[in-house]
A = this chain, B = another copy of it.
């Protein structure tokens, strides 16, 4: 019966799905290479021989496994955001793709968030382009028509936490050294209103208030108790647990799940869609101030010095992540709903 209904209702879906995902003009499909990963355009200047976004498609189930792969900490740079947007568009357009599992190919880190160097010493056009790319990823992920599960296999502060919050379901590796949270205030900066709204839809208003005010980073156990993540599993079982959970989501006919998801997330998405340009303008106005630029340069220089003195291999796992995260922790966001 579900199949029949699906077919019948199909004519009605595009308009509704459009609410979830404003599809770009891309009409391409995924081309898989021999290892199952996606063939992408050149890496936009990354020196690493590996791909920055690895996609492994399971043709039998229609589930794409997407791994962020920008060592050391999966910083969300403009090239990565651009590539990620293209990959997400292709998956969205692929009629055989029903689900997306988002994870990291870098040990101990899911993503450290936005990249500092995209916000330093650049023309205003660059800041504008960067912020638009950050918005774009949020719109594509939070509004994805795919069933979307985050397999959080490492620390996930700030923008990294946001990526996870965009999913339909979050499973985290139960490693007490990992942390997750929107910790922007600890660095003297502020999560923008759409980060806040995404957190609020997940953990409620009171936990959002405490969490954002304190810039709290939570252990997996704490995150579970606050419903910031939905389930903890041993690290070795993370992908199998995510695949199993995806099975539950794919039991539901896609069109019914998509209309429902749209109904629930629509107003939050429109919160940004209705004022993207103003949001970008606010960001550019702020980040381009001499005072802010000087602060960023000062900060970057201090990182440079840190790098020369730190020998991460001898540190414990937690210390490594902390230092790396700190070293690359970005200017996640500085704006606010006007």
18 A-B residue pairs with CB within 8 Å? A1-B187, A1-B298, A2-B187, A4-B299, A6-B188, A8-B291, A9-B291, A168-B209, A169-B210, A185-B253, A185-B260, A186-B256, A188-B253, A188-B256, A190-B256, A190-B263, A203-B206, A213-B249
Contact B185–A257 (Cβ < 8 Å): yes
Give the docked Cα–Cα distance between A215 and B6 (Å): 16
Residues of chain B within 8 A of A33, CB atoms compared: none
Residues of chain B within 8 A of A168, CB atoms compared: 209-210, 213
Copies of the chain in the assembly: 3
Contact B186–A252 (Cβ < 8 Å): yes
Would you list which residues of chain A between 3 and 39 have a CB under 8 Å from chain B? 4-6, 8-9, 11-12, 16
Contact B249–A214 (Cβ < 8 Å): yes
Contact A336–B201 (Cβ < 8 Å): no
Contact B8–A295 (Cβ < 8 Å): yes
Contact B255–A188 (Cβ < 8 Å): yes
Residues of chain B within 8 A of A255, CB atoms compared: 188
Asked if A294 lies at the interface with its beta carbon under 8 angstroms from chain B, I say yes
Residues of chain B within 8 A of A265, CB atoms compared: 209
Residues of chain B within 8 A of A214, CB atoms compared: 248-249, 252
Asked if A191 lies at the interface with its beta carbon under 8 angstroms from chain B, I say yes
Would you list which residues of chain A between 32 and 83 have a CB under 8 Å from chain B? none
Residues of chain B within 8 A of A205, CB atoms compared: 200-202, 204, 264
Asked if A196 lies at the interface with its beta carbon under 8 angstroms from chain B, I say yes
Contact B227–A206 (Cβ < 8 Å): yes
Residues of chain B within 8 A of A212, CB atoms compared: 260, 264
Q: Which residue of B lies closest to A302 (CB)?
A: B1
Give the docked Cα–Cα distance between A201 and B206 (Å): 6
* Among B2, B185, B208, B291, contact of A252 (Cβ-Cβ < 8 Å): B185
Asked if A261 lies at the interface with its beta carbon under 8 angstroms from chain B, I say yes
18 extra interface residue pairs, beta carbon distance < 8 Å, beyond A5-B189, A168-B209, A263-B336: A1-B188, A4-B295, A4-B299, A8-B289, A9-B292, A12-B286, A169-B210, A185-B253, A185-B257, A185-B260, A186-B256, A201-B205, A204-B205, A204-B206, A210-B230, A213-B249, A213-B257, A214-B252
C-beta contact mask, A247-280 vs B, less than 8 Å → 1, else 0? 0110111011101111111000000000000000
